[in-house]
């Protein structure tokens, strides 16, 4: 695509030669002559003169460095957004899709599969009474046990397992290795010290527009539903226990675990490796930083951090005080010496 065409596409103002041919997008450090790059963060301005890119997308407010080399620029409102758009245009989705239903997929006679553009890969298993919507793609070796319901425009990567009766909304993406609907961790201690399994009779409901990373575990409810709200984004290796509910548009980073029956509000942001004990409520608009452990309900929006979660301001203040503990000890020594002299 010609650079001038790209400028039109991103509604930017081009300076420099618009005739050069751009075939891809690239990071400013690594981009090649036939690639376009961008500067959204001033940190990257230092690469302005050294980049090999054929052009740079910059912000309207961008001022080139004094000794700037000559390179075509495209000035736009939001360089990162312009860049993302170009990513899609110059780099269309690699075709992972098996077209149609592969001959080695095992599909129950009682499953109801939309006849509009459904792809089911090799060695998949689709159990009894599953329902699969339009334009769904299920990649090889994924298993849906009985009665799973899948909406429209869903993409499920290989080696995923969805247990019986779970419900998946529309436009959901599920990455490899994830298990949805496995039994909640419930065992009642008996008199002899052994444990009796508590049957896990509920399901998991994944609402529309959810993305779930690789190797996540989302357990079915004991009774009722474990629910992942509309628009939630889960990173990899996340553990969601039985009867947990997560509110709309909450995002959770990798390795976070949420124990049974805890409810997380809407629009929360949870850092990686965070932990939540069971049976607590987190209100909307809460930010929990990475590696923070939450053992009590949170009722006020805000940022929480620390090994034992507390409002971040308190946490940082205590951390600063802790760094003075040696000084405090020295001051006590001095006071004692002077007190001893005085007495």
Residues with active-site annotation:
242
Question: Six-digit token pair at 28?
Answer: 């400013």
SS3 content of the chain, % helix, strand, coil (to 5): 15, 30, 55
Q: Which is nearer to a second copy, 14 or 145 (CB)?
A: 145
The interface mask with a second copy, positions 7-26, x = CB under 8 A, is ------------------xx
| Options 79, 127, 133, 265; binder of a second copy; rule CB under 8 A | 127
Question: Judged by CB under 8 A, does residue 303 bind a second copy?
Answer: no
Alpha-helical regions (H) of 16-137: 79-90
Question: Judged by CB under 8 A, does residue 112 bind a second copy?
Answer: no
| Options 52, 182, 297, 312; binder of a second copy; rule CB under 8 A | 182
Question: Judged by CB under 8 A, does residue 32 bind a second copy?
Answer: no
Q: Which is nearer to a second copy, 2 or 27 (CB)?
A: 27
Number of chain positions touching a second copy (CB under 8 A): 110
The interface mask with a second copy, positions 34-53, x = CB under 8 A, is --------------------
| Options 82, 143, 228, 286; binder of a second copy; rule CB under 8 A | 143
CA distance 164 to 127: 8
Q: What is the DSSP letter of 117?
A: S
Report in angstroms how near the CB of residue 159 gets to a second copy at its nearest: 5
- Only one of the segments 11-19, 54-62, 65-73, 142-150 lies at the binding site for a second copy (rule: CB under 8 A); that segment is 142-150
Q: Which is nearer to a second copy, 66 or 189 (CB)?
A: 189
- Smallest CA-to-CA distance from 154 within 129, 137, 177 is with 137
| Options 70, 99, 299, 343; binder of a second copy; rule CB under 8 A | 343
DSSP labels, 153-207: S-EE-TT-EE-TT-EE-SS-EE-TT-EEEEPP--EEE-TTS-EEEPP---EEEE-
| Options 88, 112, 116, 313; binder of a second copy; rule CB under 8 A | 88
CA distance 182 to 161: 9
> Cβ of 267: how many Cβ atoms within 10 Å?
15
What's the CA angle centered on 74, arms 73 and 80, to 5 degrees? Answer: 115
Kind and range of the H or E element at 245?
strand 245-246
| Options 4, 20, 114, 267; binder of a second copy; rule CB under 8 A | 267
Q: Do residues 35 and 1 touch, judged by C-beta distance below 8 A? A: no
Q: Which is nearer to a second copy, 17 or 125 (CB)?
A: 125
Q: Which is nearer to a second copy, 71 or 251 (CB)?
A: 251
Phi, psi of 261 (to 5 degrees): 70, 5
| Options 14, 251, 280, 283; binder of a second copy; rule CB under 8 A | 251
CA distance 248 to 208: 10
Question: Judged by CB under 8 A, does residue 209 bind a second copy?
Answer: yes
């Amino acid at each position: 695509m010609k650079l001038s065409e790209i400028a039109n596409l991103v509604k930017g103002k081009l300076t420099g030669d618009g005739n050069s041919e751009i075939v891809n997008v690239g990071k400013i450090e690594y981009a090649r002559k036939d690639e376009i790059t961008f500067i959204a963060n001033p940190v990257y301005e230092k690469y302005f003169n050294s980049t090999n890119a054929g052009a740079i997308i910059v912000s309207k407010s961008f001022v080139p460095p004094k000794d700037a080399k000559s390179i075509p620029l495209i000035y736009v409102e939001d360089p990162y957004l312009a860049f993302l758009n170009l990513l899609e245009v110059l780099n269309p989705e690699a075709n992972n899709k098996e077209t149609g239903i592969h001959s080695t997929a095992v599909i129950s006679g009682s499953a109801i599969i939309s006849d509009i553009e459904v792809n089911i890969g090799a060695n998949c298993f689709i159990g009894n009474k599953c329902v699969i919507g339009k334009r769904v793609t299920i990649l090889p070796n994924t298993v849906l046990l009985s009665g799973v319901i899948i909406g429209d425009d869903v993409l499920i990567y290989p080696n995923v397992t969805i247990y019986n009766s779970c419900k998946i909304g529309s436009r959901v993406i599920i990455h490899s290795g994830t298990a949805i609907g496995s039994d909640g961790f419930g065992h009642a201690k008996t008199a002899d010290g052994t444990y009796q399994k508590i049957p896990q009779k509920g399901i998991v409901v994944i609402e529309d527009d959810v993305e779930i990373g690789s190797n996540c575990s989302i357990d079915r409810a004991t009774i009722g539903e474990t629910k992942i709200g509309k628009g939630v984004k889960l990173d990899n290796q996340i553990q969601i226990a039985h009867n947990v509910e997560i509110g709309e548009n909450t995002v959770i980073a990798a390795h976070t675990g949420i124990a049974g029956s805890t409810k997380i509000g809407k629009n929360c942001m949870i850092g990686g490796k965070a932990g939540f004990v069971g049976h607590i409520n987190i209100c909307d608009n809460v930010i929990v930083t990475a590696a923070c452990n939450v053992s009590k309900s949170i009722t006020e929006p805000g940022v929480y951090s620390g090994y034992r979660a507390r409002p971040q301001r308190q946490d940082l203040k205590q951390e600063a005080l802790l760094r003075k503990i040696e000084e405090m000890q020295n001051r006590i020594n001095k006071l004692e010496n002077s007190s001893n002299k005085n007495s």
